[in-house]
Structure 1
Amino acid sequence: MIDALAAEWLKLRTLRSTSVVLGVVGVVVGLMVLLAWYAAHLWDTLPLEQRGHLAVASLPELANWLASLCLAVLGVLAFSGEHGTGMIRTTFTVLPSRGRVLAAKAGVVAVVAFCTGLAAVLVTSAVGRLIIGDRPIRGQSAEALSRQVPLFLAMSLSMVMFALLGLCLAAITRSAVAAIAALVAVWYVLPIIVGNIPAPWNERIGSILPGALAGQLAGTGNPQSLGGALLSPLAALAVMAAYVAVPYAVAAVLLARRDA
């Protein structure tokens, strides 16, 4: 298994698409910093009576939302890139156990997604706080950075979930386009549809959407999103695990039965 992990790590870090996706995550962080600077500048120029109306979405949560799609695409490309070039046949020749190959890919993608996601939200939060300072802009948390660590860890696990979901969808569909289309539907389209369902089902279904799980896992809820907040942290973790386990099991079965 160590050899399989080493091989998959070598493949992932030498793919050009990996650098591109991680670069886009860096751009997302840069945009959050720019948004923080603009919000601070706007606050300073507004009259006192208008400052209370200024609201900016939580920068770490916005970074998490955008980076989730980026890392989901990374998961897709980690499988589809090798399949598209036909190199997957060589991989299965060297490592006949297809389940081990899938597990190695999942392990490497999970570690990269977790580290990248955690770095993105930490940098966004730290630099955003430094720029905004003590300006009481609505939407920005005034809690100490250390007290937000559970939320940042939950966000990072959420990004791992999206990355592994992308990997499994690519293994199931064997098409980067189909996998990314499905991810965009889950990431963006589905929350909009659920948000327009009459109460109380909008909140009930919204609570199990992938994008709503991080806040529930950390116990902070989802005050600035379309998702609900009815799950306990343990239930949110279980749903998050199910989003990975079910497609992973389907991908493992199909890999074992289909030709490369």
Structure 2
Amino acid sequence: MKSVLASEWLKLRSVRSTYYALGAAALMVVLGIGWTLYVRDLAGVRGTLSAAAPEQGILPLLQISLAVLGVLAITSEYATGLIRTSLVTAPKRGALLLAKAAVVGLATLVTANAVLLVTFAMSRLIANGRHLGFNEVSFAESWTTVLASGLSVTALALVGLGLGAAIRSTAGAIASLVALLFIVPGVVTYLPSPWNARMASVLLPNLAPQIGGQRVSSQLGDGFLPPWAALALLVAYPTIALAVGYSALKWRDA
């Protein structure tokens, strides 16, 4: 298993797409700083306002940028045929997928938390005592949501890895992720109450705030899971996706 992990780590850091994805994730810090500068200047005119926290505003873009990394970790091997060689030298396909999941999970977890924490710190520093709403909540009160947001990025990257193994198409897997992250939550809001709130509360993009003890949305009524249930669901999403991907990898020819 150690050699498989080393091989997957080498493959991940040897392709340009990895650095493109990590670079896109790093750009989220710039977006967060830009948003903070904008609302700070706006507060200079209006006095006080209640703005969204920049680390939460950049979260969907951070999620999709690193989810693409999870997709490419497997679909790029199908495109080049490298996975056929990998399966010959490592016939236990479960070990291969597990090693990929470990490497992708570690890379995305470290990157996501670094981006979110740097954005959090820089935005509060730039706010410089202005009443912007988000900077009136201390890190002690919001650290669970920030770290849960980092976990949600990792979960989505692993979902992308599982979908990539199952679909074997970069475009198809990314389209599925976009639907999960952006389209399905929008569709759910049109369901009759209280089903819209209940369905919204179990969607992957809405789990991180609930782990931190927040409601999904004030417009969706009582759609709220306790933190332990939201965390369990966050783990379930990548677990199911990877199980589906493993099934496809095991029973179909590479």
Q: What TM-score comes out, normalization by structure 2 length?
A: 0.95
Deviating beyond 4 angstroms after TM superposition, the runs of 4 or more aligned structure 1 residues are: 223-229
The one of 177, 182, 188 aligned to 2:182: 188
The one of 237, 240, 251 aligned to 1:246: 240
Asked if 1:173 is matched to 2:162, the reply is no
* Distance across 1 between alignment mates of 2:240 and 2:188: 22
Amino acid at match of 1:148: S
What is the 5 A alignment of 1:130-169?
130-138=125-133, 140-169=134-163
Per the alignment, do residues 217 and 195 of structure 1 end up closer, same or farther by CA in structure 2, a change over 3 Å counting?
Answer: same
- Structure 2 match to 1:75: 70
The number of residues matched between the two structures is 254
The one of 203, 206, 219 aligned to 1:209: 203
Give the C-alpha shift of residue 148 in structure 1. Answer: 2.3
- Structure 1 match to 2:8: 8
Give the C-alpha shift of residue 141 in structure 1. Answer: 4.0
The one of 91, 97, 100 aligned to 1:96: 91
Give the C-alpha shift of residue 224 in structure 1. Answer: 7.8
- Structure 1 match to 2:123: 128
Q: What value does the CA root-mean-square deviation take over the aligned residues? A: 1.7
The one of 226, 229, 248 aligned to 1:232: 226
Segments of structure 2 that go 5 or more residues without pairing to the other structure are none
Give the C-alpha shift of residue 226 in structure 1. Answer: 7.3
Give the C-alpha shift of residue 51 in structure 1. Answer: 3.5
- Structure 2 match to 1:26: 26
- Asked whether the equivalents of residues 207 and 227 of structure 1 are also in contact (C-alpha less than 8 Å), the reply is no
* Distance across 1 between alignment mates of 2:221 and 2:86: 40
Per the alignment, do residues 198 and 119 of structure 1 end up closer, same or farther by CA in structure 2, a change over 3 Å counting?
Answer: same
* Distance across 1 between alignment mates of 2:199 and 2:145: 22
* Distance across 2 between alignment mates of 1:250 and 1:88: 18
* Distance across 2 between alignment mates of 1:204 and 1:18: 36
Amino acid at match of 2:43: W
Give the C-alpha shift of residue 30 in structure 1. Answer: 0.5
* Distance across 2 between alignment mates of 1:229 and 1:144: 25
Q: Deviations over 1:230-252 (max 9, x none)?
A: 11111111211221111211111
Q: What TM-score comes out, normalization by structure 1 length?
A: 0.92
